Amino acid sequence: MDGINAPGGSSSRSFDDPWNGPSKIVIGVDIGTTQSGVAFAFLQEGAKPFIHRVTQWPGQTQNLHGKIPTVILYSSNNKPELFGAEALTPQAANAADDKGWKLAQHFKLHLHPARLIAEHGLELEPLPFSVSLRQVYSDFLGYLLQRTQTYFEDHISGGKQIWKQYKPTMEVVLAHPNGWGIREQSTLRSAAVEAGFTSADDAATLIHFVHEAEASVHFCVLYSDIRSQLEPGMTFAVCDAGGSTVDTTVYTVQSLNPIRLKETRTPDCVQAGAIFIDKSARKYLCTMLREAGLPPQEIDDYAAHGVKDFELYSKRGFKDTNADQNIEIAWLTYNNPAIRVRRGQLTLEGSKVKTFFDTCVYKILESVSSQLEDADSSHILLVGGFGESPFLREQLKERFEPIGCKVATTSEQASKAVADGTIIWYTSNMVMERIPPHSYGIEVLISYDPQAQDHKRRMTVKWPTGLYVKGGADRRMQGVPVGCDHITRRPYYREYTTPDPALKKFTEEIWFHTFEDVPRWMRFKPGSLMPGFQLGCSVNADLSDMKGALRAHTSPKGVRYWSLSFNVCITFGRTAPRAFLEWEEEGVTRTGNARLISMPGQ
């Protein structure tokens, strides 16, 4: 399709089919709040794809599942010193104390849209020193790329030569939460360029994005029992419970050979991930230790030690609210019967541990319930690191299995779903229809009618063909499934008083709105914006290639003028909206580049 570069091979292929495109390297990256993962494939023309997961990360060579802690230790000159597990060792902690290094962690929360941060009252941990969020992402992506190259060269036959040959055309798929959009994708794209994945000129065509839940569904279809149960017309949900966000998406099966799905409603995203359970546990430990009369330094040390142990053991295995849980908060020599600490082990009642989960589990159950409303879903596929929690799994089963919706998990480790799923998504995109997260529209001119009361006292603009009123509303897309190859076209028309106008920069603002039926106007008569409209992004393009499309005219009043007609085209049905220009010139349809630019604060 002219103007759009889409990932994947033929629309009719399955992941198990031989790759029918040119040979290339594809890397899939899942940067989670607490853990990250990388998968890759060397796609060879005529050969079946094979997914490799990067393992043997420095500092954790025994971790064969391939997850790496999403942390960086920075020195005071904003230089990254250590990454991942190496930044969390006792030696790293000592070096940080001696040299004044600071840890960047949970930085994914900083990239969340302002709406999500405000809705959930997120408390953001400050980034170290004067390091920007984009630098943190760039540094971390650069480290992932470096380690991926090393792993590729060590594990692929002829890896060094293959990497050198195919690195210039290498493509990367970055996974992100359902609630992220153009602004967040722009930040990730820039960070990936700075990290060395590709050049700025090639970023639009070599860097792709996919929702974490959508990557997970591609993984689940291959590695869960649901594959054998799929049939046309069947509806099921995917709940991707991660470190900070829990994404839920509902799909309907369109076909089986190949498997093709469509979204049934706008996906949901709530801040109810595993990190908030840790925060709840820490808050309780600090309060308990403070009330026991411990000095501040011991409170901090014991709480930190306890949360680390809780995250590694009790949280992951917790299921029975009637069974006590032991959490190591100190060395074996520490005893405090008043707070049930013996040999460094704090004993907590299962009912108390349950309270750490309650808020998150409630949000997840409500989110899934709202997604399943009127959906007649037969299954919920639970994936993600938090998705491995026996307690969460049981709560979902108690809520939804009595109404005929089975809760299922993958036959592989759930935390592998996103990174591996990005590669499957790239090679065989199964989702044919998606529902845009917003209703989109633009501000338009309306031909002035002096008899119309709602035209009076509005701002106007004069063109050779007449007077026009500013502030009209036009809807392009709203809450309905959109095919991934569907192009939304909006015709544009310009008039000029010279045959050689300066056709250069074109900018059109795109507005999000919350109306079911869009009003005729988006501005009040004084020109101020009506409630319900929000500036989302802008389409930016250069019109200089369109000079051959100018047409000469004479107005009814005998005024000579020239017009330019073209379409702004946007694909809203893909995981990352893309734009291009389209116009007619001497009977031939031509296309040109356009960019979607996020607006500050959006």
449 and 328 in a common domain: no
* Predicted confidence band of residue 2 (pLDDT cuts 50, 70, 90): very low
pLDDT for the residue numbered 200? 95
In-domain check, residue 42: yes
261 and 173 in a common domain: no
CA distance 27 to 495: 47
Domain span at residue 311 reads 225-409
Full 3-state SS string of 398-426? HHHHHHCCEEECECCCHHHHHHHHHHHHH
98-102, 438-442, 578-582: least confident range: 438-442
Domain boundary among 211, 246, 268: 211
**What is the CATH number for 394?**
3.30.420.40
Q: At what angle do helices 390-400 and 350-372 cross, to 10 degrees?
A: 50
pLDDT for the residue numbered 4? 44
pLDDT for the residue numbered 562? 94
Question: Mind listing the pLDDT tens digit for each residue in 248-272?
Answer: 999 999 999 889 999 999 899 999 9
373 and 344 in a common domain: yes
Domain boundary among 176, 211, 246: 211
CB atoms within 10 A of CB 277: 26
194 and 262 in a common domain: no
Question: Mind listing the pLDDT tens digit for each residue in 292-304?
Answer: 999 999 999 999 9
* Predicted confidence band of residue 526 (pLDDT cuts 50, 70, 90): confident
Contact 240, 247 (CB under 8 A): yes
In-domain check, residue 8: no
Residues 6+ apart with CB under 8 A from 443: 470, 471, 472, 473, 474, 509, 511, 522, 523
pLDDT mean over 108-136: 92
456 and 349 in a common domain: no
Question: Mind listing the pLDDT tens digit for each residue in 336-366?
Answer: 999 999 999 999 999 999 999 999 999 999 9
pLDDT for the residue numbered 1? 37
In-domain check, residue 515: yes
**Residue with more model confidence, 534 or 447:** 447
Paired sense of beta strands 171-176 and 24-31, if any:
parallel
pLDDT mean over 165-179: 96
390 and 443 in a common domain: no
In-domain check, residue 158: yes
301 and 165 in a common domain: no
279 and 197 in a common domain: no
Domain boundary among 389, 409, 429: 409
In-domain check, residue 3: no
pLDDT for the residue numbered 476? 62
In-domain check, residue 11: no
Q: Tell me if the bond preceding 526 is cis, omega within 30° of 0.
A: no
Q: Judge whether residue 600 has pLDDT over 70.
A: no
279 and 179 in a common domain: no
173 and 242 in a common domain: no
231 and 323 in a common domain: yes
* Predicted confidence band of residue 598 (pLDDT cuts 50, 70, 90): confident
In-domain check, residue 537: yes
Most confidently modeled range among 92-101, 110-119, 520-529: 92-101
CA distance 596 to 599: 10
281 and 232 in a common domain: yes
In-domain check, residue 77: yes
**Residue with more model confidence, 403 or 412:** 403
pTM: 0.90
pLDDT for the residue numbered 381? 93
Domain count, the chain: 3
